[in-house]
Amino acid sequence: MKIPQSPSPVIELKGTKKYYGEGDATAYALRGVDLTIYEGEFVAIMGPSGSGKSTAMNIIGCLDVPTEGHYLFEGIDVGILSRDQRALLRRNYIGFIFQGFNLLGKTSAVENVELPLLYRGVPAHERRTMAMAALQSVGLGNVAHHTPGELSGGQQQRVAIARAIVTDPLVLLADEPTGNLDTAKSIEVMELLKSFNLEKKITIIMVTHENDMARYASRTIHFRDGQIDPAGDGSHP
C-alpha cells in the first residue's frame, strides 16, 4: 500500500526580521516572523497598513531579503543568494499579479503575456503559442490582439493573470488582485485564481483587505505590528 505523502513546505520564514536604521532610530517592518506555506495552499494575508504584510510579500517574492532570520524557498536559503540568483529564482518559479495590472499600454494582450517568456529567451513561435494558450485559459483568446485600453478592468486583470501563469510558476503572488474591480469582476478573478490553485496545484499567496475575497483561500494569516497575530493565524475572517 502506498502511503500518501504530506505536502512539502514551499515557503518558510524563520525568525524573519526586517528593519531600517539603528539604535533609537531603528524602524521595524517585521519583528521575527515564523511562517510555513505548503505546496498547493491558497493563503490570504490580511492586516492594516503598516502591519508588515507587504514587506513579507516582498521578501517572499525575492524582491528584498531579511535583515535577520531566514527565508527558505523550496529549502534554499534565499538570503545567501546573490542579486542575480534571486532574479533567476523569481523569474523561473514565481508569478506576480498586481492591483494596478501593470500592463504595457500600447502592447497587445498576447504580447503582454509573452513578456516573461521573452525574458527567458523562449523562441518567438513558442512564445506566441504559450501566450495564446494562457489567454484561452482565462477566457480571453478572442481579444488577444486588443490593447489594454480596449479592455475592461476585469479583462485587464485576467490578462495579468495569464501573464503570471504562462511560465507555469510554482508560486503565484497576488497583491490586492481585486482592489480596482467591482464586485462581479472581483468574483470572476477569484474564481479563476481558485481554479488554478485546485486544478494546476499552483501555490497562491494573496494580500487583500477584503474579507469576501479572503474566503476563497484555504487559510488566512493576519499581520499586526510586524508580526503574525496568533489570534488570527489560520482562521478565516
pLDDT band at 226 (very low <50, low <70, confident <90, very high): very high
pLDDT band at 237 (very low <50, low <70, confident <90, very high): very low
Q: Are 186 and 178 in contact (CB under 8 A)?
A: yes
Give a yes or no: residue 102 inside a domain: yes
Give a yes or no: residue 3 inside a domain: no
Give a yes or no: residue 101 inside a domain: yes
pLDDT tens digits, one per residue of 9-33: 999 999 999 999 888 889 999 999 9
Q: In angstroms, rounded to a whole number, what is the distance separating the alpha carbons of residues 227 and 18?
A: 11
Predicted local confidence at residue 235, as pLDDT? 46
pLDDT tens digits, one per residue of 110-129: 999 999 999 889 999 999 99
Is pTM beyond 0.85 here?
yes
With H, G, I as helix, E, B as strand and everything else as coil, classify residue 101.
Answer: coil
What are the CA-CA distances from residue 58 to residues 54, 71, 124, 226 (Å)?
6, 11, 31, 14
pLDDT tens digits, one per residue of 30-51: 999 999 999 999 999 999 999 9
Give a yes or no: residue 234 inside a domain: no
Give a yes or no: residue 4 inside a domain: no
The grid cell for 130 is: 504559450
Give a yes or no: residue 235 inside a domain: no
**Phi and psi at residue 31, to the nearest 5°:** -120, 40
**Phi and psi at residue 235, to the nearest 5°:** -100, 165
Q: Are strands 42-46 and 219-224 parallel, antiparallel or unpaired?
A: parallel
Q: What is the DSSP letter of 168?
A: -
CATH of the domain at 177: 3.40.50.300
pLDDT tens digits, one per residue of 144-202: 999 999 999 999 999 999 999 999 999 999 999 998 889 999 999 999 999 999 999 99
Domain that holds residue 155: 9-228
Whether 217 has a pLDDT exceeding 90, the answer reads yes
Give a yes or no: residue 34 inside a domain: yes
Give a yes or no: residue 233 inside a domain: no
Range list of β-strands (E), the chain: 9-20, 27-38, 42-46, 68-73, 76-77, 94-98, 171-175, 203-207, 219-224, 227-228
Number of domains composing the chain: 1
Whether 135 has a pLDDT exceeding 50, the answer reads yes
Whether 77 has a pLDDT exceeding 70, the answer reads yes
